[in-house]
A and B are shown apart, each in its own frame.
Chain A
Amino acid sequence: MIRLEKVCRDFQVGDQVVHALDHIDLDIKPGDYISIMGPSGSGKSTLLNILGLLDRPNSGTYWLNDADVSSLDDDALAEQRQKNIGFIFQSFHLIARLSALENVELPLLLAGAPVAARRERAREVLDSVGLAPRADHRPDQLSGGERQRVAIGRAIVMKPGLLLADEPTGNLDSRSSEEVIDLVEQLNRGGISLMVVTHDIDIGRRARRHISLRDGKVINDEDTRSQ
């Protein structure tokens, strides 16, 4: 489903060139559950941004659903993101003026879906993350765990193949963290590929495949199922 071939991403910091990603090769199959771990500055977020089509590699090729997306223009990237990728952020990134339902509906609105259809779909998704009774609440009226569940609903409303979570529990207490991880794992069992970037070893271990990065290189890639 996803293949990275010799992907490099460099940043110019002052006079120095930092190799945030250094010839990364990676295969992700449908239904994978991957955790990405590593110290700060190891390239975790850069890898996530490249996979999420928010950033472009300096060299190498990114195959998404058998198409080379490394050279697409901005509009085409936006379309690919919309269709194929769901994002979950540490700080939720909900729009404060919109209700839970409207936040979930947002990707459908950007995609130009008709009102009735997108309302129905958003309600359905909100129900599936257990927040149907909170549909009309604004983010500031929701708990942290509820906010992240709204964000998860928004991430899956377009039925993407890949769910990218960047420290999804970083701002949550342990009970809410548990709920959120349970929810994304449940979605993963439903077939969506899940990639979680985390510092939290306990959460990282729950994934079936563990990837460790250091200085922009994959230093460990183990699939627990094969053991």
Chain B
Amino acid sequence: MKPVDTVRFSFQAIQRYPLRTSMLLLAVSIGVAAVVVLTGVGEGARRYVTGEFAALGTHLIVVLPGKSETAGAGGTGTIIGATARDLTLGDAMAVERLARIAQVAPIIVGSGNASWRAREREITVLGTTTEMLDVQHWRMQLGRFLPEIDMDVATPVCVMGSVVRDEFFGNASPIGQWLRIGDTRCRVIGVLAQGGTTGPFNTDELVILPIASAQRLFNEPGVFRILADATSREAVPAARRDIIEIIKARHQGEEDITVVTQDAVLSTFESIFDMITMGLAGIAAISLFVAGVLIMNVMLVAVSQRTSEIGLLKALGATERHIVALFLAEAVFLSFFGALLGLILGNIGSSLLGTVFPILDFTAPTWAMVAAVGVAVTSGLLFSILPARRAARLDPVLALTGR
């Protein structure tokens, strides 16, 4: 018997028993739809969380002076207790020139006495560059951020957070006013929108100066840390190595910095969510298994319904292999079409969920869809082996009399 004839013959049999066919299609499609929807939910949650992380800057690399990790492992000749060499603006510029680095924002933090007219208070001052706005995804409420100038050029301008603005200026616009900080003066050019953060600091309470101005204010040649954006998430590990290498070269071969990436945190989250998705997929796979058992039962019924047909086929010269092939082909057909139907139902279900929770994207991952169809067809096949063999082993004489 030719394979194409086996397929056609089975297909005709499927059409012949619409109730049985629709029951099986339903069972398999529910299983597959469950896989699609549940993995979609897992993926949606994962995408949401990683998306939130991306907003914080998944490309972000933070360079700190000093080696905070196991001191003995990295440094040869490191004298215990030696203070780390400071990072400098020169280091920041060197990092900025790296191919895998998109932008760099060195920062320096200190506190100073700020005053405007009669009002005076102690504030936290952050020195940085214009790139900081982008690196930290801050937004402006008024005016503009620090000007685009070389990092080692000091200009008398500043940007402030909203709390600082409220305390000094109330509801009046601070733009163009001259704020005194320590013994320098700077003109206010912008106000940050509320809610920005950088590390432990809330931007609402900050006054931000160009980094060179801040260094002069604090009489401090070093920088507190360097924030760098890699060109892409994939480039982060390589960029990290590049940074360590170039700073080491600039620091006479001594690896005296610590480089922190967001990626490590994100990876942990991703693996947690992968586990959740796998767990949901596993639960859904149970419904595929149940569908498989149902396929087996229905195929067993089909075998007893069609006993005399099987007897006839044997009388006409069908071998056991022919009979097995016919029944397996039927099962594969049913489970494959059931799986396709399940994909459609599952995707409809996901998009319905998506309209209820528009923040989340419930699209199931491709691997889950492929695996669901694969598992459905495989279980359809495996669970039909028993009924098919039973059919093949029927005694033709008894089968022909319908017994």
Measured CB to CB, the closest approach of chain A to B391, in angstroms, equals: 14
Q: Which residues of B contact A63 (CB under 8 A)?
A: none
Q: How far is the CA of A87 from the CA of B317 in the complex (A)?
A: 11
Q: How far is the CA of A82 from the CA of B1 in the complex (A)?
A: 12
Excluding A54-B315, A87-B315, A111-B317, 9 further A-B contacts by CB distance (< 8 Å) are: A54-B396, A54-B397, A55-B396, A78-B319, A81-B317, A97-B15, A97-B16, A110-B1, A110-B317
Contact among A55, A79, A96, A97 for B317, CB-based, below 8 A: A79
| A54-B315, A54-B397 known; A109-B9 Cβ under 8 A | yes
Verify A110–B397 contact, CB threshold 8 A.
no
Q: Is B312 an interface residue (CB 8 A)?
A: yes
Q: How large is the interface on A (under 10, 10 to 19, 20 to 34, 35 or more residues)?
A: 20 to 34
Q: Is A75 an interface residue (CB 8 A)?
A: yes
Q: How far is the CA of A158 from the CA of B316 in the complex (A)?
A: 10
| A97-B13, A97-B16 known; A110-B313 Cβ under 8 A | yes
Q: How far is the CA of A97 from the CA of B21 in the complex (A)?
A: 15
Verify A112–B309 contact, CB threshold 8 A.
no
Q: Is B400 an interface residue (CB 8 A)?
A: yes
Q: Which residues of B contact A83 (CB under 8 A)?
A: 317
Measured CB to CB, the closest approach of chain B to A101, in angstroms, equals: 13
Chain B 299-337, CB within 8 Å of chain A: the 1/0 string? 000000000110111111111111000000000000000
Q: How far is the CA of A174 from the CA of B399 in the complex (A)?
A: 29
Measured CB to CB, the closest approach of chain A to B157, in angstroms, equals: 86
28 of the cross-chain contacts (CB-CB < 8 Å) are A52-B315, A54-B397, A54-B400, A75-B319, A75-B320, A78-B314, A78-B318, A78-B319, A79-B317, A81-B314, A81-B316, A82-B316, A83-B317, A87-B315, A93-B311, A93-B315, A97-B16, A98-B12, A106-B316, A107-B316, A109-B1, A110-B1, A110-B316, A110-B317, A110-B322, A112-B1, A112-B2, A154-B316
Closest to A154 in B: B316
Measured CB to CB, the closest approach of chain B to A16, in angstroms, equals: 19
Contact among B16, B322, B400 for A93, CB-based, below 8 A: B400
Interface residues of B (CB under 8 A from A): 1-2, 5, 9, 12-13, 15-16, 308-309, 311-322, 396-397, 400
Verify B16–A89 contact, CB threshold 8 A.
no
Q: Which residues of B contact A112 (CB under 8 A)?
A: 1-2, 5
Q: Is A26 an interface residue (CB 8 A)?
A: no
Verify A81–B315 contact, CB threshold 8 A.
yes
Interface residues of A (CB under 8 A from B): 49, 52, 54-55, 74-75, 78-79, 81-83, 87, 89, 93, 95-98, 106-107, 109-112, 154, 158
Q: In the complex, which of the residues B5, B13, B322 has the most CB atoms of chain A within 10 Å of its own CB atom?
A: B5
Q: How far is the CA of A112 from the CA of B317 in the complex (A)?
A: 11
Q: How far is the CA of A223 from the CA of B313 in the complex (A)?
A: 34
Q: How far is the CA of A78 from the CA of B316 in the complex (A)?
A: 8
Q: How far is the CA of A95 from the CA of B319 in the complex (A)?
A: 18
Q: How far is the CA of A95 from the CA of B16 in the complex (A)?
A: 11
| A54-B397, A93-B308, A93-B312 known; A110-B13 Cβ under 8 A | no
Q: How far is the CA of A75 from the CA of B323 in the complex (A)?
A: 12
Q: Which residues of A contact B316 (CB under 8 A)?
A: 81-82, 87, 106-107, 110, 154
Q: Which residues of A contact B315 (CB under 8 A)?
A: 52, 54, 81, 87, 93
Q: Which residues of B contact A55 (CB under 8 A)?
A: 396-397
Q: Which residues of A contact B309 (CB under 8 A)?
A: 95
Contact among B5, B15, B314 for A54, CB-based, below 8 A: B314
Q: Which residues of B contact A49 (CB under 8 A)?
A: 397
Q: Which residues of B contact A96 (CB under 8 A)?
A: 16
Q: How far is the CA of A121 from the CA of B343 in the complex (A)?
A: 43
| A49-B397, A54-B397 known; A107-B317 Cβ under 8 A | yes
